Structure 1
Amino acid sequence: MKKLELKFSNEEEKVVTISIDHPSEPVNEADVNAAMDAIIEENCFYSSGGDLVEKKEARIVERNVTAVEL
């Protein structure tokens, strides 16, 4: 499964991650940038370390799981 992770710094300079399952691909960098700007501007997510104040990074993460027979 793939996820889009949006990483921000909060007022305490801790990293806050927002994950989005099944992102559209290819990822449009301008749209991701604009969405992250809007999240900061609108202050629409709670963080125990204060408001989200800075964009850190955005990345696609893919997780593969293979069962091991017992």
Structure 2
Amino acid sequence: MARSLVMTFVNVGGKKSNITLNNVKESLTAEEINKAMDVVIDKNVFQTKDGDLVSKDSAKIVDRTTREID
């Protein structure tokens, strides 16, 4: 099963933007996720077509199972 972290931010234009990290560890905590999101905003490492990311909206972990069909 593949696990991804989807972090949703709000940019300066008021629109939501997602950053997805694949293959995150099982033991990832809410505190670690919040700290990572704070770093993304504080360091201003990403920019969208509507401007810089300015606040956190939400985060979720997505578990995916892939099954081949014969």
- Do Structure 1 and Structure 2 share a fold, with TM-score over 0.5? yes
CA distance in 1, matches of 2:64, 2:25: 16
Tell me the residue number matched to 2:55.
Answer: 54
Which is richer in strand?
A: 2
Question: Where do 5+ consecutive residues of structure 1 fail to align?
Answer: none
TM-score when scaled to structure 2?
0.86
TM-score when scaled to structure 1?
0.86
Q: Shift of the alpha carbon at 1:14?
A: 1.0
Question: Where do 5+ consecutive residues of structure 2 fail to align?
Answer: none
Question: Over the residues paired in the alignment, what is the CA RMSD in angstroms?
Answer: 1.2
1:41-70 deviation digits (Å, cap 9, x = unpaired): 11001211101011011110122333444x
Aligned residues between the structures: 69
Q: How high is the sequence identity, in percent, across the aligned residues?
A: 32
